[in-house]
Structure 1
């Protein structure tokens, strides 16, 4: 369980985009959404709909479950 001050990241879109070497702009264009929308997903300030998650997974050629694994930020030290 996360500590009170520890932020949990609810999606892995940013990480999966990096792995696929696809930019926010490319994903936005393929999904016909604003770049700002993709940016908000990547920073976890907004979450895509379930349908959009499947669309994102299709573009990235991954299983949608890879986008939904909650993670905690890396800690140094």
Structure 2
């Protein structure tokens, strides 16, 4: 099932943009542990947070989604 897959690319995009998960958590006003869980794909961000994250990082929302994980669902 999809729960065990890497559904988002947040960690990769943060590295590409030279930003930390701590920076993102401060920008979004959420706990660093929450962003850490998103980065490790142990939980997924709500759509609203995904949209805010894309805007903060200057990327399209689809850049944060691992398209390959959806092809196998």
- Number of aligned pairs? 67
TM-score, normalised by the number of residues in structure 1:
0.80
Across the aligned residues of Structure 1 and Structure 2, the Cα RMSD in angstroms comes to 1.6
Rg larger for: 1
Gaps of 5+ in 2: none
The reply to whether residue 38 of structure 1 matches residue 67 of structure 2 is: no
Indicate the structure with greater helix content: 2
Moved over 6 A (4+): none
Gaps of 5+ in 1: 73-77
